[in-house]
Amino acid sequence: GESVGLHLPTLSVQEGDNSIINCAYSNSASDYFIWYKQESGKGPQFIIDIRSNMDKRQGQRVTVLLNKTVKHLSLQIAATQPGDSAVYFCAENTPPYDKVIFGPGTSLSVIP
Amino acid sequence: DSGVTQTPKHLITATGQRVTLRCSPRSGDLSVYWYQQSLDQGLQFLIQYYNGEERAKGNILERFSAQQFPDLHSELNLSSLELGDSALYFCASSVAQGSYGYTFGSGTRLTVV
């Protein structure tokens, strides 16, 4: 069945460094991908998205890369800050876009 | 504040009991989605409603049911509760039936003892 998985369950980075969180997906029919950030005690919060007709999209301090050939996407966070500490989920959506499927999540810890 | 309101925030109940979780979607959103988040299962899609009608179903147990009312708020009913039902339950909403991404509420933490 369809699934979205993460290579690294935990990631620790030094404040100011760049962070890279990776994700693999298995459903080749998925054409829309989203990264969510979940802080303790809160619901998932949209960070950035990308459609399958793109391979890169940039936001404020974040970049998402999509490699459809190997079904892989990544989230890059520039100049990581303590406020970036959270669990990050990649998620995919597939026509008719009636449910977002989440990966297991990566916990990002920023070391001051 | 995301605009999606979930109540209660915390709920402690005994095995075998029944509870109702409530969700008010963001103003203007017609679709409501329910997710269960447990430590070993991650975020699992349960069910979607659009404008009062069920539109998509995930791995929702038969002991669980949901509905969306004319004012668009939704309720998730969990019955014959088991210890394994302890989890965070999130509601999300979106404008359309088929939407790329959603806005999530802060969740209801259910503890079954």
Give the integer Cα–Cα distance in Å for B35 and B51: 18
Band the pLDDT of B98: cuts 50, 70, 90.
low
For B45, which of A41, A89, A101 is closest by C-beta distance? A101
Upstream peptide bond of A82 is cis (omega within 30 degrees of 0): no
The mean pLDDT value for B78-88 works out to 97
Is the pLDDT at A80 greater than 80? The verdict is: yes
Chain B residues within 8 A (CB-CB) of chain A? 2, 4, 33, 35, 42-45, 48, 55-56, 58, 90, 92, 97-107
The mean pLDDT value for B89-112 works out to 88
B83 φ, ψ (degrees, to nearest 5) = -55, -35
Check residue B39 and give its pLDDT: 74
Give the integer Cα–Cα distance in Å for A30 and B93: 20
Q: Assess contact for B3 and B32: CB atoms under 8 A.
A: no
A83 interface with B at CB cutoff 8 Å: no
Give the integer Cα–Cα distance in Å for A87 and A84: 9
Residue A42: closest CA among chain B residues belongs to which residue?
B106
> Sign of torsion, CA A68 A80 A11 B59?
negative
Sequence-ordered list of residues with C-beta below 8 angstroms from that of B71, at least 6 positions apart, any chain: none
Q: Dump pLDDT digits (tens) for A29-71.
A: 999 999 999 998 899 999 999 999 999 999 999 999 999 999 9
Give me the half-sphere count of Cα atoms (radius 13 Å) on the Cβ side of residue A6.
Answer: 24
The mean pLDDT value for B97-113 works out to 87
Q: Assess contact for A49 and A64: CB atoms under 8 A.
A: yes
Band the pLDDT of B1: cuts 50, 70, 90.
confident
Q: Assess contact for B44 and B101: CB atoms under 8 A.
A: no
Q: Assess contact for B16 and B31: CB atoms under 8 A.
A: no
